[in-house]
Amino acid sequence: MRKPKVCILRTAGTNCDKETAFAFNKAGAKTQLVHINRFSSGEKSLGDYQILAIPGGFSYGDDLGAGKVLANELRFKLSDDLSKFVADGKLIIGICNGFQILVKSGLLPGNKRFKQEASLIINDSAKFEDRWVYLKSQAKCVWTKDLPEVIYLPVAHGEGKFVTKDKAVLGRLKKNGQIVFRYCDEEGRSRPYPYNPNGALENIAGICDETGRIFGLMPHPERHIEAHQHPRWTGKPPFDFARAKQVTSIGDGLQIFRNGVEFIRNNF
Amino acid sequence: MLYKIEITDKPGIFDAVGEGIKKDILDLGISSVKDVHFAQVYTLEGNISDGDLKQICEELLVDKIVQEYELISRPGLESNSRTNQDRVLKQGEHIIEVAYNPGVMDPVEESTLKGIRDLGIEGVESVRTAKKYLIKGKLPEGQLKTISEKLLYNKLIQHIVKPAGKGTVPFGDSPLTEHTYQFNLVTVDLLGASDKKLLELSKRGQLFLNLAEMRQIKDYFKKLGRNPTDCELETVAQTWSEHCYHKTFRGKIDYKEELLKPKIGTVPLARKKNEGGDSPCLRTTKKIDNLLKSTIMEVTKKLDKPWCVSVFKDNSGVIRFDDKYNVCFKVETHNHPSALEPFGGANTGVGGVIRDPLGTGLGAKPILNTDVFCFAPPKLPFSKVPQGSLHPKRVMKGVVSGVRDYGNKMGIPTINGAILFHEHFVGNPLVYCGTVGIMPKDKSFKKTNVGDLVVVVGGRTGRDGIHGATFSSGELTHESETISSGAVQIGNPIQEKKMADTILQARDKNLYSAITDCGAGGLSSAVGEMGAEMGVRVDLDKVPLKYSGLSYMEIWISESQERMVISVPKENIEELLAVFAGENVEASVIGEFTDTKKLELCYDGNLVCDLDMGFLHDGIPDIEKKAEFIQTRHIEPKANTAKNLTPYLTKLLSHYDICSKEWVIRQYDHEVQGGSVVKPLSGIVNDGPSDASVVKPVLDSKKGIIVSNGINFRYGFIDPYWMAASCIDEALRQIIAVGGSLKEVAVLDNFCWGNPDKPDRLGSLVRSAYGCYDIAKGFGVPFISGKDSLYNEYTVNGKSLAIPGTLLISAIAVMEDTDKAISMYAKESGDLIYVVGETADELGGSHYFDLFGAIGNNVPKVDVKKAKLIFEALSKASDKGLIRAMHDCSEGGIGVAAAEMAFSGGLGMELFLSEAPFKSDCFAPSGLAMTAGVRNDTILFSESNSRFIVEVSKKNQKQFEKALDGLPFGLLGCVSKSKEFKVYGLDGKICIAASLFDLKEAWQKPLRW
């Protein structure tokens, strides 16, 4: 079968590139880790890929706010290529730092291209936190097809509190069905910290653009590809509300990557 | 021209940084602060147009969604009137602005300059950042000072920007401009120096060399008929420092010990006949030549494991992982720098140890970190903090932040650790940082060849970290913070991350022949080591600098972070430089490896160092040190006759050593790289204390790595030998507890001790090294690497405070099948709970005794033969899938271990102490649990080694008991449906009854910050 080509974008400080590649490979894609310098120098072309994945990490140390420097690099150096990529109906996913980059470059919510309308700011707890969260999927996003109502993924970030510029932006996100994931409890109810790990507005954990093809989220689907990554895989039901998996089964995150791969297979 | 930009959150946005500081101020006991607002400050230098400046602010520095900014130009130039009005402080408002000192690396500068270039803006020459705090509330001057000094800045690396008068603009008083350096060869008059003068030179130059060593250097130069240059003298001091050469461990020791007797199981050093006779002591004396070789390394030699690939040679110890890969492990300490600047010290400690695997063989990819700390208790009154020291809570918060920052940004999961507390760590916290790396089998060895080029890659060289190696080879004093301030630095993890990324690319293209890291001693030790066998010539003027003004000697010994040295065959140099340039990493050719057997350094064509490698690496004079271990008898606490032991269990769970470290663990990314199998926290709500952690370094393989640690300085107060034994037992126990086996386990030693020139300090060090030897050999686990950090003493007013001699044993195991991993939390009601291993009356050094302020004498011992049988039997049982949960019985004994399993699983337990196998002493003949005189608290809280609490489902009862046939175990009770934890004493009556909620609360509360 034809394998969609995924570009896993790297730069100084990227650090979830290899496991993101592993997840896409497992989902049936062909992946390449590409340093952003290869695009700016013209050695590689974004047009050669069908999926752009911006993985987690601390691009340029997140020194000027998470994802900001790379977001600007995309806006000022690759905007034409990116616009074409999006116009061609291809897919973009940003995970954690990748989500921060998509939001700060204005690719998300994406209503006015390359204009920032939302942000991801320092957690209410004022510290980095690694913990597992329940997520309720709600939107008609390409990436979240066939997911169970509640899934379980880890977050690991210090700046994940989603906020919008104003109420109008939030209203539009709701109206257009762009809110893909909200933090919740194991039964899908909305609950405060630590269920909402960062104080995000309306428990928003991930959003997509109007087409549902550009998707960003704070949690790490690539860290729940296999059953043993679940924090309670060594337990057995009924002790685990989150449908503990048998060792041979898969993790909740894999379907997200499969959806991306399947979309490209069906449409390109 | 200078431009200053201040960025604050918009009104209505939650200021998380400000809120955090407000909480910290409250912790200081200052309650009058109503509000804290945080502002980020940037100072740009250059010629920037108004339009460009606006673009820099709005497109780069400010997050317009939530932030606003003020632009303040330099006074005397066109200034923004709105700004000046806003700057007037209202009554009860205070501003503290903290900026970096000149010469301190500001990691934000590089990214900001890059971001500005990406905007297409030229003309910005430099960027400095500062943090500004607006504090609202009535505060006397003294309190403001307390807040600044205790929370907001560290004068070693930062300063408070002088407050400005009304309407004026406070600018950093640090000049941004640079100095220039004029070459001037400095020589030191050794030839004409008397002994007194020699010592003075050593002290004044911070060389930390003793008289014999200074004389040796004098003699060497006498033969050459000239005086040394400053650079030559420094090079010798660096190379011969305790930090680099480990002269205590490698030297001669005249050892004497006196053990109390007769206690059953008190094992004297069996190497010499006991001379004690009828005296109350067991006396032994021994001449030791090279303690390291005769104990630690001897274990490895004797065991001769085929899977040990490279031990005690490279920057870390290497063992086999599978057919394709090897793994390597190194643990370092960064105690002295962390004492002075906790964030920077721990930060660069992590950065430094990551470069060890990266500098092993031809470079290993770092796959996990482990961090172990010892602090004074966070609630220590300020009056008990000696002059020149920081409060332990600040030290702890700073150290945790430093580890978090570096580990997370490098994308290396921090999966294992421990934190212990004792007042004696007040001037000298311990910060152990460890990293495991993985590399292809064919990249596990290096060899530099004559003619290879010397290439330095990564960060630039600055004036930071000068004298780190020699500084850590002496005691701290209250003046250390001033005289050694150069030794303190902060790291730049992204610099290291991109360096690591490119090094591994160059490695896979086979472009270089050897690699090593620039750690303590900087280029001096890295280049010196690589060229030790052949010779090397370096042009110091070719080393890229952060700023001009460094002398040739500063370049040579600077310990600037994030640098490595590689040796590159000439034909590969262009391709190699292209790999680094491709990802914006600097790589520079600075010299060449030669066949001269000499270390030759030049600056602008002038020879500034010309030393024989032979003298440098083997010229250090032999010194014999005296060591003495005299065991003392400690007071035993009065027998506790309380019938209800619940309050003691609760207190133990709240003991700082035992309580939950979730606050720390969650700040570390422990799942990046995706290989996490057993996480540091596990349980029904993911918050119980895992024993060891398990990761899969190769994602599509089932093979795993288990990492654990054993540390307990309290036993060392009684007998360092049994402390070492207990540490090894604990580290191995944790491996067994997660489903591992002893088949392929290697250990690392890290000794942190006081001044080894004092016989009692060295004596206990020697005794613990013998404990390491006997017990590691008994278990069949080789040492593959290690490190010592001596001189952990703090002198105030002539009185010396030594840390408790502390040994950390870190263990690494290869796990065949990670699907068989086991976690520690209770799984299902009705399951059986066993205790495996014997409990003895070994409350000496226990946390239970610590509740009474006592140490006691019956230290836990290890019957290594029996322990090994128990470990192996449990491995087999877990391999067969007979075990549902297993927990290592350590601090707080059976009581704490079982309670942790229960509340982590959210399930109650009913346990019967009469079923626990018991004997009076580890080496005594086995006895019955009901033996007269045995108390419930002894069984519950004794910290005897080699024990586990195991959960087994009823259907597997027979098979499990058969697997343990002939070994000591007892069916303690079962997991219950209720949310109660109940223990029945030897008399059949309840001695502990508590709700899971109360127990968990007691355990979580102390460090819920």
pLDDT in tens, A154-188: 999 999 999 999 999 999 999 999 999 999 999 99
pLDDT band at B672 (very low <50, low <70, confident <90, very high): very high
Compute the C-alpha angle B846/B850/B853, nearest 5°: 140
Instruction: Map residue A43 onto helix, strand or coil.
Output: coil
Nearest to B345, CA basis, from B235, B476, B246, B206: B476
Q: Is the dihedral of CA A23, A27, A33, A36 positive or negative?
A: negative
B508 touches chain A (CB under 8 A): no
Q: Per the confidence metrics, is the pTM higher than 0.90?
A: yes
Q: ipTM of this predicted complex?
A: 0.95
Q: Residues of B with CB below 8 A from A64's CB?
A: 60-61, 108, 111-112, 115
> Which of A222, A224, A226, A230 does the annotation list as catalytic?
A222
Q: Which range in B90-99, B155-164, B169-178, B656-665 is most confidently predicted, on average pLDDT?
A: B656-665
Q: Which residue of B has its CA nearest to A159?
A: B16
> Which of A117, A184, A208, A220 does the annotation list as catalytic?
A220
The answer for residues whose C-beta is within 8 angstroms of residue B44's C-beta and 6 or more apart is: B2, B3, B4, B5, B53, B56, B124, B126, B127
Closest Cα in chain B, distance from residue A33 (Å): 12
pLDDT of B924 reads: 67
Q: Residues of A with CB below 8 A from B65's CB?
A: 116-119, 121, 163-165
Q: A223 and B583: CB-CB below 8 Å?
A: no
A258 touches A24 (CB < 8 A): no
Q: A56 and B672: CB-CB below 8 Å?
A: yes
Tokens of B908: 């109650």
Would you identify the CATH topology of the domain A5-267? Rossmann fold (3.40.50)
Pairing of strands B948-952, B990-995: unpaired
pLDDT of B797 reads: 74
How many contacts (CB atoms, under 8 Å) link A and B?
183
**Catalytic annotation present for A7:** no
Nearest to B874, CA basis, from B811, B775, B967: B967
Residue percentage of chain A with pLDDT more than 90: 85
**Exposed (0-12), middle (13-18) or buried (19+): which is B173, by Cβ within 10 Å?**
exposed
Of B107, B671, B678, the CB nearest to A61: B107
Distance of CA B147 to the CA centre of its chain: 28
Instruction: Map residue A28 onto helix, strand or coil.
Output: coil
Q: Which range in B46-55, B196-205, B518-527, B690-699 is most confidently predicted, on average pLDDT?
A: B690-699
Length of chain B: 1009
Residue B822 has pLDDT above 80, yes or no: yes
pLDDT of B169 reads: 37
pLDDT band at B203 (very low <50, low <70, confident <90, very high): confident
Residue B265 has pLDDT above 50, yes or no: no
DSSP per-residue letters across B309-374: EE-SSSSSEEEE-SSSEEEEEEEEE-HHHHHH-HHHHHHHHHHHHHHHHHTSTT--EEEEEEEEEE
Q: Which domains, ranges and CATH numbers included, belong to chain B?
A: 2-160 (3.30.1280.10), 252-289 (no CATH), 639-659+824-1009 (3.90.650.10)
Span B729-773, pLDDT tens digits: 999 999 999 999 999 999 999 999 999 999 999 999 999 999 999
Nearest to B563, CA basis, from B599, B600, B524, B516: B516
Q: Which residue of B has its CA nearest to A125?
A: B16
Compute the C-alpha angle B341/B344/B115, nearest 5°: 140
Task: Give the helix ranges, DSSP H, for B828-892.
Answer: 847-851, 864-879
Q: Can you tell me which residue has the tokens 């300063």?
A: B159
Q: Which residue of A has its CA nearest to B497?
A: A13
pLDDT of B110 reads: 87
Residue percentage of chain B with pLDDT more than 90: 73
For testing contact with chain A, the best of B495, B503, B671 (most A CBs within 10 A): B671
pLDDT band at B519 (very low <50, low <70, confident <90, very high): confident
The answer for residues whose C-beta is within 8 angstroms of residue B379's C-beta and 6 or more apart is: B393
Q: Residues of B with CB below 8 A from A234's CB?
A: 678, 682, 821-823, 885
The mean per-residue pLDDT over the stretch A78-101 comes to: 96
The mean per-residue pLDDT over the stretch A32-46 comes to: 95
Pairing of strands B606-612, B365-375: unpaired
Enumerate residues 464 to 493 of chain B having a beta carbon within 8 A of any beta carbon in chain A: 492-493
Of A69, A229, A231, the CB nearest to B115: A69
Span B554-571, pLDDT tens digits: 999 998 899 999 999 999
DSSP letter, residue B474: S
Instruction: Map residue A196 onto helix, strand or coil.
Output: coil
CB atoms < 10 A from the CB of B382, how many?
Answer: 10
Q: Residues of B with CB below 8 A from A224's CB?
A: none
Lowest mean pLDDT among B23-32, B465-474, B485-494: B465-474
Residue B89 has pLDDT above 90, yes or no: no
Q: B118 and A121: CB-CB below 8 Å?
A: no
Residue B801 has pLDDT above 90, yes or no: no
DSSP per-residue letters across B144-188: HHHHIIIII--TTTEEEPPPP-TT-----SS------------B-
Lowest mean pLDDT among A47-51, A240-244, B541-545: A240-244
DSSP per-residue letters across A63-105: BTBTTHHHHHHHHHHSHHHHHHHHHTT-EEEEETHHHHHHHHT
The mean per-residue pLDDT over the stretch A33-49 comes to: 95
Q: Can you tell me which residue has the tokens 């709005």?
A: B58
pLDDT of A225 reads: 94
Enumerate residues 828 to 887 of chain B having a beta carbon within 8 A of any beta carbon in chain A: 828, 885
A132 touches A150 (CB < 8 A): no
Nearest to A232, CA basis, from B681, B672, B237: B681
pLDDT of B877 reads: 96
Instruction: Map residue B444 onto helix, strand or coil.
Output: coil
pLDDT band at B478 (very low <50, low <70, confident <90, very high): low
* Amino acid at site B436: V
pLDDT band at B968 (very low <50, low <70, confident <90, very high): very high
Span B698-729, pLDDT tens digits: 999 999 999 999 999 999 999 999 999 999 99
pLDDT of B269 reads: 47
Enumerate residues 146 to 165 of chain B having a beta carbon within 8 A of any beta carbon in chain A: none
Q: How far is CA B908 from CA B875, B898, B970, in A?
A: 26, 10, 19
B741 touches B779 (CB < 8 A): no
Span B127-169, pLDDT tens digits: 999 999 999 998 888 888 888 888 888 877 888 887 654 333 3
Span B380-410, pLDDT tens digits: 998 888 888 889 999 999 999 999 999 999 9
CB-side neighbour CA atoms (13 Å) of B75: 10
Q: A60 and B114: CB-CB below 8 Å?
A: yes
Span B903-940, pLDDT tens digits: 999 999 999 999 999 987 767 666 555 555 789 999 99
Span B104-114, pLDDT tens digits: 778 888 889 99
CB atoms < 10 A from the CB of B27, how many?
Answer: 17
Distance of CA B637 to the CA centre of its chain: 34
Nearest to B339, CA basis, from B431, B470, B465: B431
Mean pLDDT, chain B, as a whole number?
Answer: 90
Which residues pair with residue A93 across a beta bridge?
A: A53, A215
More confident residue, B247 or B501: B501
Q: Residues of A with CB below 8 A from B5's CB?
A: none
Residue B117 has pLDDT above 50, yes or no: yes
Question: Taking each helix axis from N to C terminus, what angle separates B864-879 and B759-779, rounded to the nearest 10 degrees?
Answer: 50
Q: Which residue of B has its CA nearest to A198?
A: B16
- Domain boundary assignment for chain A: 5-267
Residue B49 has pLDDT above 70, yes or no: yes
Q: What radius of gyration, in Å, describes the C-alpha atoms of chain B? A: 29
Residue A109 has pLDDT above 70, yes or no: yes
